């Protein structure tokens, strides 16, 4: 334990700003993956263990497109929409068959998908780890805000993720589509009886979750190692986020992801040898005090 | 009748003749079958470390072709059998038993990482066949007399050798440039902890002014190093040491570049000068201090460069640290079989003790299998700085083997090994 450096950090503006922005960086990428997970659970009632696969697909597609075209915006689009298309195909072929099935069956199918896609990635892109490289526009020295350090690329990532959070919240709360989605989550039989195509809604929601995961992978590709099995590394943390925030809650995913981000960056200063453990202790505390998560519905 | 008789006679003669020929040939055929010697090799061919395991298999195949072309081991052609251990120690042990008991392998080349190599050592103790470890860098495998057996050898660089050579190099720069405040950042498992502790211990011994102001222990395969990097920035050290490796190091460099960490703080990364990392990092910073793993430019000899190029030509990628160790192991087996003029375990083991071979990977063109602890010394070991393109590490400062062995001996005494 090194509480001295934690307290001395709180005493300095530059340190607080640096650690807070890094908390946002970790948190916002995590949010993009976790929000898809939580949406899919909330509406489809499937715990999608294979969600990390779409993060990996997004990263690989972005890497390939960036290295062939040199265009970063194109790479981001390819990562997001590529993952969404694969997700749509998976939903139609496999997921739609296991809605309402025994959870054990759902886990088995998801686990099989993880193994299959990891091997496919190995066949297509090779077993070696790859690095995409930072787009030229972001190859600039970090920005200093009141003495705190923030790399421009990370500011961009935070902005994109924040924009998505806002758009998502608006779509769910304000649009007709959002209303239908919320209704389908609550009572799919009634929604279906009203003549609304719930099959299409389910497929769209699943694809949207995959799009967000793919986009997160594409955003992570310039800074994180791209390799088969990379999806698993973010899956566990995403689950912790959804458990803390409450399964099915978008606000919960955002708050949970940011809390994990802050816990990691400030925890690294105060508890360097126990940083990983902090996250799990926090999760256990939430589960004990509020078993359904911070924003989960009590009855869930 | 006569005709008949003579016909039967001819038939009989043919049958007899054929039978005799068959009888005469049978032992020759049997001998030819027995002459082939099977060598088994467990290594990691799937999962995260598969690249290294595959590069080990490649090197063994490449070198065994040469051995077979030159007549095999003591006149016996070699047949290699490779098995995937999936990086699991219990699987490595099982595979070795199968290779020996079912496939009839007489020698084991153990291409396992540290955890698996200790399991293989115990199987070798039990089955008593010649075993040569080619990938485990953990020093205790050969240094600890309780683990040692007469039929197992190690042809691998060692953690303690790297730490002495690295700390001596780092201490010299620390003294020249007045680098007193150091931070460490290494993976949180046995290799990371041990190697870092040894490096820091020797660094303080060589440069007593040095103090460690911050340490971070990211876990293996951690995708994000942001908190580690910002913690480094807060500690504001004058130099950073790390033994992060492979894809983790690539991510660490990519993310560290965003914070400009490497442009202002000297970075000592023992595992940087490895072609898999050097070729993967897109924006490799200039001037990272690294130990050699396998690099064509060190030792700077035509033999070493030719070997690296030949490997690249054959497998379309550069060799790894595990590749040279496996290639050297094959050379040791060939030399021992020649010296013993036999492939018998006891005779080859005896021949290997203290054996010196000519090798492109030797500091001075030679590597010795030290008799006292059955592990190699005098292999190429050194540190240098990186440049972002070929040849990546043009100038390497060689380590001092006299100093390495002296401090290694002191380390063994401190551990109660001698």
pLDDT of residue A100: 87
The token duo for B260 is 């400009």
Give the residue extent of every domain in chain B.
34-158+301-377, 160-299+382-408
Please name the residue of chain B whose CA is at the shortest distance from the CA of residue A140. Answer: B258
Q: Where are the alpha helices (DSSP H) in B293-416?
A: 302-315, 321-340, 345-352, 401-415
Per DSSP, the residues of B139-151 read: THHHH-TTT--TT
Which residue among B54, B230, B246 places its CB closest to the CB of A19?
A: B230
Q: B276 and A128 in contact by Cβ < 8 A?
A: yes
Cβ atoms A298, A249 nearer than 8 A? no
- Please judge whether A131 and B276 are an interchain contact, meaning their C-beta atoms are less than 8 angstroms apart: no
> Tokens at residue B193, please?
């902890």
Closest alpha carbon within chain A to B45: A127
pLDDT in tens, chain B (418 residues): 444 444 556 666 555 555 555 555 554 544 444 589 999 999 998 877 888 999 999 999 999 999 999 999 999 999 999 999 988 999 999 999 999 999 999 999 999 988 899 999 999 999 999 999 999 998 899 999 999 999 999 999 998 999 999 999 999 999 999 999 999 999 988 788 988 999 999 999 999 999 999 999 998 888 889 989 998 988 999 999 999 998 899 999 999 999 989 988 999 999 999 999 998 888 889 899 999 999 999 999 999 999 999 999 999 999 999 999 999 999 999 999 999 999 999 999 999 999 999 999 999 999 999 999 999 999 999 999 999 999 999 999 999 999 999 999 999 999 999 9
In this structure, whether the domain defined by B34-158+301-377 belongs to CATH 3.40.50.2300 is answered with: yes
Which region, left, alpha or beta, applies to residue A29 given φ > 0 means left and ψ of -120 to 50 means alpha? alpha
pLDDT at residue B13, as a whole number = 59
For testing the chain A interface, which of B185, B231, B232, B256 should be mutated: the one with the most A CBs within 10 Å? B231
User: Of A9, A29, A142, which has the smallest distance from its Cβ to B260's Cβ?
Assistant: A142
Looking at the 3D structure of chain A, how many domains does it have? 1
What distance in Å separates residue B249's CA from the closest CA in chain A?
9
Which CATH code is given to the segment(s) B160-299+382-408? 3.40.50.2300
- Neighbouring CB atoms inside 10 A of A143's CB total 13
pLDDT at A116 > cutoff 50: yes
In a domain, A25, yes or no: yes
Query: Does residue A295 lie within any of the structural domains?
Result: no
- The 3-class SS string of A246-261 reads CCCCHHHHHHHHHHHH
| Cα–Cα distance for residue pair A35/A56, rounded to 1 Å | 16
pLDDT at A299: 46
Give CA B361 to chain center in angstroms. 11
The CA–CA distances, whole Å, from A138 to A73, A143, B250 equal: 13, 11, 18
pLDDT for position B14: 57
Q: Residue A68 sits in a domain of what CATH number?
A: 1.10.3470
Distance CA A165, CA B71 (A): 69
Do the Cβ atoms of B227 and A18 come within 8 Å?
A: no
Computed on alpha carbons and rounded to an integer, the radius of gyration of chain A in Å comes to 20
Q: What's the pLDDT tens digit per position in A241-273? A: 999 999 888 899 999 999 999 999 999 888 877
Q: Suggest the residue from A153, A227, A257, A279 to mutate for an interface test with chain B (most B CBs closer than 10 A).
A: A227
**Angle of CA points B142, B145, B150, to nearest 5°:** 70
Query: How many CB atoms sit inside 10 A of residue B221's CB?
Result: 18
Report CB contact under 8 Å: B223, A225: yes
Confidence check: pLDDT of A12 > 80: yes
From chain B, the residues in CB contact with A224 under 8 A are 223-224, 251, 254-255
Comparing C-alpha atoms, which of A238, A233, A240, A244 is closest to residue A289? A244
Contacts 24+ apart (CB under 8 A), A9-15: A9/A266, A9/A269, A9/B234, A12/A147, A13/A146, A13/A147, A13/A148, A14/A146, A14/A147, A14/A148, A14/A149, A15/A148, A15/B234
Answer yes or no: do A26 and B246 touch at CB < 8 A: no
pLDDT reading at A296 higher than 90: no
Share of chain A above pLDDT 70, in %: 99
Q: Is residue A260 part of a domain?
A: yes
Distance from CA of A117 to the nearest CA of B (A): 14
DSSP assignment of A156-177, as one string?
A: HHHHHHHHHHHHHHHHHHHSHH
Is A84 domain-assigned?
yes
Chain A residues whose beta carbon lies within 8 Å of the beta carbon of residue B282:
131-134
Residue A297 lies in a domain: no
Per-residue pLDDT band for A280 (boundaries 50, 70, 90) equals: very high
Lookup: tokens for B384: 């240098």
- For residue A225, give the nearest of B233, B251, B260 by CB distance: B251
Topology alike, domains B34-158+301-377 and B160-299+382-408: yes
Domain that holds residue A281: 3-289
Distance from the B398 Cα atom to the nearest Cα atom in chain A, whole angstroms: 30
Q: Say if CB B103 and CB B38 are below 8 A apart.
A: yes
Q: Do A225 and B247 touch (CB under 8 A)?
A: yes
Residue B232 near chain A (CB below 8 Å): no
Q: Residue written as tokens 């990097």? A: B229
Q: So what's the pLDDT on residue B23? A: 54
- A298 domain-assigned: no
Establish if A115 belongs to a structural domain.
yes
Q: Which B residues 238-267 touch A at CB under 8 Å?
A: 246-248, 250-251, 254-255, 257-260
What is the pLDDT at residue B7? 52
A294 within domain boundaries: no
A142 at B interface, C-beta within 8 A: yes
Mean pLDDT of A148-174: 93
Q: For A208-230, write each residue's pLDDT tens digit.
A: 999 999 999 999 999 998 988 89
B397 pairs with which residues across the strands?
B383
């Amino acid at each position: 334990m090194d509480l001295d450096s934690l307290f001395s950090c709180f005493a300095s503006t530059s340190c607080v700003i640096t650690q807070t922005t890094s908390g946002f960086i970790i948190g916002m990428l995590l949010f993009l993956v976790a929000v898809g997970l939580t949406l899919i659970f909330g509406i489809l009632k499937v715990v999608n263990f294979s969600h990390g696969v779409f993060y990996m697909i997004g990263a690989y597609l972005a890497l390939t497109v960036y290295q062939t075209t040199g265009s970063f915006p194109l790479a981001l689009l390819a990562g997001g929409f590529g993952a969404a298309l694969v997700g749509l195909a998976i939903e139609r072929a496999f997921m739609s068959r296991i809605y309402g099935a025994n959870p054990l069956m759902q886990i088995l199918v998801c686990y099989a998908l993880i193994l299959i896609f990891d091997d496919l990635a190995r066949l297509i892109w090779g077993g070696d780890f790859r690095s995409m490289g930072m787009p030229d526009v972001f190859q600039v020295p970090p920005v200093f805000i009141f003495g705190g350090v923030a790399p421009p690329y990370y500011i961009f990532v935070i902005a994109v993720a924040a924009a998505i959070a806002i758009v998502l919240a608006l779509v769910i709360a304000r649009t007709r589509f959002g209303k239908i989605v919320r209704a389908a989550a609550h009572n799919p039989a009634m929604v279906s009886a009203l003549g609304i195509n719930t099959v299409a809604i389910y497929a769209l929601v699943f694809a949207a979750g995959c799009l967000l995961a793919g986009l997160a992978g594409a955003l992570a590709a310039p800074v994180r190692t791209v390799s088969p099995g990379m999806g698993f590394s973010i899956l566990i943390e995403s689950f912790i986020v959804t458990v803390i925030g409450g399964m099915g809650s978008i606000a919960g995913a955002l708050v949970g992801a940011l809390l994990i981000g802050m816990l990691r960056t400030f925890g690294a200063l105060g508890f360097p040898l126990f940083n990983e453990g902090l996250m799990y202790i926090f999760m256990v505390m939430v589960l004990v005090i509020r078993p359904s998560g911070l924003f989960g519905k009590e009855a869930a | 009748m006569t005709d008949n008789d003579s016909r039967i006679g001819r038939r009989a003669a043919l049958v007899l003749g054929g039978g005799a020929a068959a009888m005469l040939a049978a032992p020759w055929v049997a001998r030819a079958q027995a002459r082939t010697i099977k060598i088994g090799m467990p290594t990691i061919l799937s999962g995260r470390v598969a690249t290294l395991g595959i590069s080990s298999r490649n090197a063994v195949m490449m070198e065994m072709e040469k051995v077979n072309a030159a007549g095999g081991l003591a006149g016996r052609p070699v047949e290699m059998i490779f098995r995937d251990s999936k990086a699991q120690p219990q699987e490595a042990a099982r595979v070795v038993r199968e290779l020996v008991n079912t496939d009839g392998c007489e020698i084991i080349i153990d291409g396992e990482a540290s955890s698996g190599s200790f399991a293989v050592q115990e199987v070798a103790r039990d089955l008593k066949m010649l075993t040569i470890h080619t990938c485990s860098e953990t020093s205790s495998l050969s240094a600890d007399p309780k683990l040692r057996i007469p039929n197992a050898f190690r042809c691998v660089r060692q953690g303690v050798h790297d730490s002495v050579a690295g700390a001596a190099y780092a201490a010299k720069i620390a003294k020249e440039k007045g680098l007193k405040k150091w931070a460490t950042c290494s993976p949180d498992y046995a290799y990371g902890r041990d190697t870092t502790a040894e490096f820091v211990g020797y660094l303080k011994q060589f440069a007593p002014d040095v103090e460690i102001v911050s340490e971070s222990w990211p876990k293996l395969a951690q995708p994000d190093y942001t908190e580690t990097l910002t913690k480094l920035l807060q500690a504001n050290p004058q130099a950073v040491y790390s033994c992060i490796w492979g894809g983790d190091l690539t991510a660490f460099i990519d993310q560290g570049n965003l914070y400009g960490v490497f442009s202002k703080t000297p970075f000592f990364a023992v595992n940087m000068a490895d072609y898999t990392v050097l070729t993967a990092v897109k924006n490799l910073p200039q001037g990272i201090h690294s130990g050699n793993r396998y690099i064509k430019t060190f030792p700077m000899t035509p033999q070493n460069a030719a070997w690296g190029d030949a490997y690249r030509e054959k497998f379309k990628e550069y060799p790894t640290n595990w590749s040279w160790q496996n290639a050297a192991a094959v050379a040791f087996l060939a030399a021992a079989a020649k010296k013993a003029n036999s492939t018998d375990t006891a005779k080859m083991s005896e021949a290997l003790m203290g054996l010196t071979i000519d090798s492109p990977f030797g500091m001075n063109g030679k590597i010795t299998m030290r008799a006292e602890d059955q592990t190699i010394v005098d292999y190429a070991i050194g540190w240098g700085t990186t440049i972002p393109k070929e040849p990546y590490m043009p100038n390497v400062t060689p380590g001092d083997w006299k100093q390495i062995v002296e401090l290694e001996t002191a380390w063994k005494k401190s551990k109660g090994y001698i």
